Amino acid sequence: MKSDSLLESFAYAAEGVRYALRTQRNMRIHAAAAVAVITAAALLHLSWGRWVVLLLAITLVMAMELMNTALEAVVDLASPEVHPLAKAAKDAAAGAVLLSAIFAVAAGCIIFFRPVMDLLGSGG
């Protein structure tokens, strides 16, 4: 199967994102967290540099979750029965999501610490 146009490729990619949002609870959690973080960043008027790091962290986590979703589908297709390699593949993919999420939380804490302290110090 070969896609005919660039537009069709984008449509298939968007379908993949919608599939992950529909079927993966973690993807919906990441999306809700991303909306909350972007809203807070806008309200706090963060610098461009901080915005770039936040957007990178959000993109990294969501891209990892999409790859995890893809890998789960491939493993279920190739090995519906229990197999130690199927377990290893799924666990490693889940580990990649976990690592990226830890990075995102750490980056968020570092980025928001000073602006939130300044806000609290100025009495809101």
Ligand X SMILES: Nc1ncnc2c1ncn2[C@@H]1O[C@H](COP(=O)(O)OP(=O)(O)OP(=O)(O)O)[C@@H](O)[C@H]1O
Which sequence positions are flagged as catalytic? Answer: 65
Q: Kindly tell me the burial class for residue 90, based on how many C-beta atoms sit within 10 Å of its own C-beta (0-12, 13-18, 19 or more).
A: middle
Half-sphere exposure of 69 (CA within 13 A, CB side): 20
Q: Judged by CB under 6 A, does residue 26 bind ligand X? A: yes
Closest distance of CB 87 from ligand X, Å: 3
Looking at beta carbons only, is 68 or 100 nearer to ligand X? 68
Q: How far apart are CA 81 and CA 58, in angstroms?
A: 34
Q: Which stretch binds ligand X (CB under 6 A): 28-36, 56-64, 87-95, 112-120?
A: 87-95
Q: Judged by CB under 6 A, does residue 98 bind ligand X? A: no
Looking at beta carbons only, is 21 or 94 nearer to ligand X? 94
Q: How far apart are CA 90 and CA 96, in angstroms?
A: 10
First to last CA, the chain: 57
Q: Judged by CB under 6 A, does residue 70 bind ligand X? A: no
Interface size with ligand X, residues (CB under 6 A):
12
Q: Judged by CB under 6 A, does residue 87 bind ligand X? A: yes
